Amino acid sequence: MPAQSFEFDTQTGSVRDGGIRYLMMRPDVLMGVGTALGSIDQFVNALTESAFQNARASFEVYRRNGLLDSDGALQRAGEFAARLGWGRWSVAYLENGNVEVIVRHSPFAYGIGRCDRPVCGPIVGVLRAVHLVALGAEARVAEIECAAQGSSTCRFRVEPQAPAR
């Protein structure tokens, strides 16, 4: 992923990193949309799918430009996520082939406050996307603990699936 820093263009009112536009927004404003819609589930599911589709497109560009490969892709995604305010990610490769990602300070959990369900769907989408693009295979990703539910961190399980033939 790009190593350059963000460009803040006050003339156009835009923030960019490597030509990709970003938006700075308070997490409670974003997550409040789910509350306003009356369906946290639908909102988080939509955010998950959107994050997957858009992250996949970005990761494809990074891969084509030689900025993303299979070596350390999840760690690099975590480093980039920290730059974007998506919390601090720790990646652990388990003996059974799965991966555990622990996120401290998730903006999604912070933004929603207390909730009875996991709310960090955008991280699920990004983990699926980076796995697919960098490693060439789908992965089943689930948030198995969420700070919004009272845990100290958010924890994700990444289960690689067999590559398509």
Per-residue pLDDT of the chain (165 residues), as tens digits, is 555 578 899 999 999 887 788 888 999 999 999 989 989 999 999 999 999 999 999 899 888 888 888 888 889 899 989 988 999 999 999 999 899 999 999 999 999 999 999 999 999 999 999 999 998 889 999 999 999 999 999 999 999 997 654
Distance CA 9, CA 101 (A): 34
Q: Which residues contact 39 (CB under 8 A, 6 or more apart)?
A: none
Q: Is the dihedral of CA 144, 116, 78, 53 positive or negative?
A: positive
Chain centroid, CA 90 distance in Å: 13
Assign a CATH topology to domain 27-160: Muramoyl-pentapeptide Carboxypeptidase; domain 2 (3.30.1380)
| Domain layout of the chain by residue ranges | 27-160
Distance CA 156, CA 103 (A): 8
The CA-atom distances, in angstroms, between 155 and each of 18, 87, 106, 139, 148 are 29, 12, 10, 16, 12
What is the model's pLDDT at position 72? 86
Predicted structure pTM score: 0.91
